[in-house]
Structure 1
Amino acid sequence: MPLIDIDLLGVPAFTVAVGEDGSFRYDGLNAANTAVSGLTKAMVVGRTPHDYVPAAVADRLVANYRRCVEARLMQEYEEELDLPGGHKWWRTTLSPVVGCEGRIVQILGLVIDITEKKQAEIELRSAAFKDPLTGICNRRRFERDLENAVAKARDTGRPFTVVLADVDRFKPINDTHGHGVGDAVLKAIAWRLAAGIRDTDRLARIGGDEFAAILSAGSEGAIAVALDRLRGKLAGPLRIGALDLIVGVSLGSALWAPAMSTDDVMAAADAAMYRQKDLRAA
């Protein structure tokens, strides 16, 4: 019999009995909770977390309940769960209930469905890291990815490659055909570059007509293969409306070395790209 009658509460709630052996078993679930979670008393009351959800999820639930008991304080956190009512985000507040002997005998849980709020946050973060024209990552996301790539390479000793791609003579395209055609060219270049890299590589637009990629290629031989693949994807005219445009793209690459910072590897790739651009212009 639960110590707290949560059926009288108008907010989604549940209670967990805390055994003397430290076990956790649900002993209450109110109608407001059922309405939002899809769970029923028959599904959970009398059961432990491991009795009704996958082990990995149950382990997280038990860890939260144990933290509440050990701290003897209210705990509040956000969690993502797949329940009969669907995949949702919750803000959960746990409050310890102390028995007459001073031992925590029960946990009162109050939950709020925050799924719409979390989805809005995720969409906002996605927009903050996405180039609105091409749909690929923007410079802000690339800089974060590059920092992570350098940190991982330092930890593992496995190098990676940065490739920079710059559209040749892009300004005359805009001046001759208009910015609408120029935007279409950038989109097409982005699509071709994306088709030339692996799913695990990262591509971004980091400037007006400049793109950058972080590739897993870890040797000069692997870089040569990657660049050949990219050049193959970039070859051929771009069909923009009624126009067939021959658009060149200069590529430059740099293999990360242990002493290199993010600025160092970018500078090396940039220098290689401009050497290629000079050769193409000659």
Structure 2
Amino acid sequence: MLAGSRIVSLTVVAKIPVTTSSSGNEHESTADHSELDPLTGALTRQTFFLRLIEQATLANSTGQPFSICLADADQLKNINHLHGQQAGDEALSQVTRRIRQTLADAFPDTQEPVLGRCDGNGFVLLIPNCELEQASGIAENYRRAIATLEMSKGVRITVSVGVSQYQLWESAEETLARAEQALHLAKQFGRDRVEVAATPRSTNTTAKVIPLRRTA
């Protein structure tokens, strides 16, 4: 288990952007197929942490920033209960697709954001060379895109998102924990929103959360 965090199972989809097709099941990745989750095309937790450690090492040596967006699908348990697990799986697949579409619009082909899945209902996005303000804007864009989804059986889904920026020489767990603190605030403030964790040096002890103003 990550220190200070409830994330116990973390996998990742690498090498974004990804091309789209009518099936929605395509995943470009440098990983072997044996490493991929059958529903989301996610890499294993171990592979994700190798990528995350590499990114932190790069940041520490070059000063290049990166940010984390930790999203959780709101009310997914209710969807599974009312409409069945197939509807829940469809919702997760659609959420993944909308995040990818947002990334494809936001980044040139030379960028390689890393999209992961955690805790069953959640997704974690590692964005290289990206500061907090840009990352929160990306999170807000895909939050809005997901909120417009219309799926079979009239199912609708939203996501809550917490965003943090890696600080030099902090641990990956600390960066994720600050994003999760922001995610918890997004849930407490009513879900379907983005919250941003301030840097540790501006708070000294615990992460301050800066709410983003939602627009219609």
Where does structure 2 lack aligned partners over 5 or more consecutive residues? Answer: 1-28, 193-216
Residue from 258, 271, 275 that aligns with 2:181: 271
Deviation at 1:256, TM superposition (A): 0.5
Residue from 247, 255, 260 that aligns with 2:165: 255
Equivalent-residue separation in structure 1 for 2:40 and 2:50 (angstroms):
19
Q: Find the counterpart in structure 1 of residue 50 from structure 2.
A: 144
Report SS of the residue matched to 1:196.
helix
Moved over 6 A (4+): none
1:134-173 → structure 2 map (5 Å cutoff): 134-173=40-79
Amino acid at match of 1:210: G
Where does structure 1 lack aligned partners over 5 or more consecutive residues? Answer: 1-122
Distance 1:201 1:276, change over 3 A: same
1:188 matched to 2:94? The reply is yes
TM-score norm. by structure 2 comes to 0.66
Residue from 114, 118, 126 that aligns with 1:214: 126
1:235 matched to 2:147? The reply is yes
Larger RCO: 1 or 2 (CA < 8 Å, sep 6+): 2
Equivalent-residue separation in structure 1 for 2:175 and 2:86 (angstroms):
33
Deviation at 1:219, TM superposition (A): 2.5
Amino acid at match of 1:185: A
Matched-pair contact (CA < 8 Å) for 1:186–1:209: yes
Deviation at 1:235, TM superposition (A): 2.4
Deviation at 1:225, TM superposition (A): 2.2
Amino acid at match of 1:264: E
Distance 1:231 1:125, change over 3 A: closer
Equivalent-residue separation in structure 2 for 1:125 and 1:134 (angstroms):
13
Equivalent-residue separation in structure 2 for 1:159 and 1:125 (angstroms):
25
CA RMSD of aligned residues (A): 2.3
TM-score norm. by structure 1 comes to 0.52
Amino acid at match of 2:167: A
Matched-pair contact (CA < 8 Å) for 2:162–2:182: yes
Deviation at 1:125, TM superposition (A): 5.1
Residue from 163, 176, 180 that aligns with 2:82: 176
Equivalent-residue separation in structure 2 for 1:162 and 1:281 (angstroms):
19
Spell out, residue by residue over 1:32-82, the C-alpha distance to the aligned partner (whole angstroms, 9 max, x if none). xxxxxxxxxxxxxxxxxxxxxxxxxxxxxxxxxxxxxxxxxxxxxxxxxxx
1:223 matched to 2:135? The reply is yes
Identical-pair percentage: 25
Residue from 93, 100, 112 that aligns with 1:200: 112
Deviation at 1:140, TM superposition (A): 3.2
Equivalent-residue separation in structure 2 for 1:125 and 1:201 (angstroms):
15
Matched-pair contact (CA < 8 Å) for 1:217–1:223: no
Spell out, residue by residue over 1:4-37, the C-alpha distance to the aligned partner (whole angstroms, 9 max, x if none). xxxxxxxxxxxxxxxxxxxxxxxxxxxxxxxxxx
Distance 1:129 1:145, change over 3 A: farther
Matched-pair contact (CA < 8 Å) for 2:143–2:158: no
Equivalent-residue separation in structure 2 for 1:186 and 1:148 (angstroms):
28
Deviation at 1:237, TM superposition (A): 3.0
Report SS of the residue matched to 1:158.
coil
Deviation at 1:280, TM superposition (A): 1.6
Report SS of the residue matched to 2:32.
helix
Spell out, residue by residue over 1:142-189, the C-alpha distance to the aligned partner (whole angstroms, 9 max, x if none). 222111111111111111001111011111111111111111111111
Aligned pairs, number = 158
Deviation at 1:281, TM superposition (A): 4.9
Moved more, 256-265 or 219-228: 219-228
Amino acid at match of 1:256: Y
Matched-pair contact (CA < 8 Å) for 1:237–1:244: no
Amino acid at match of 1:236: T
Matched-pair contact (CA < 8 Å) for 1:196–1:229: yes
Equivalent-residue separation in structure 1 for 2:132 and 2:53 (angstroms):
22
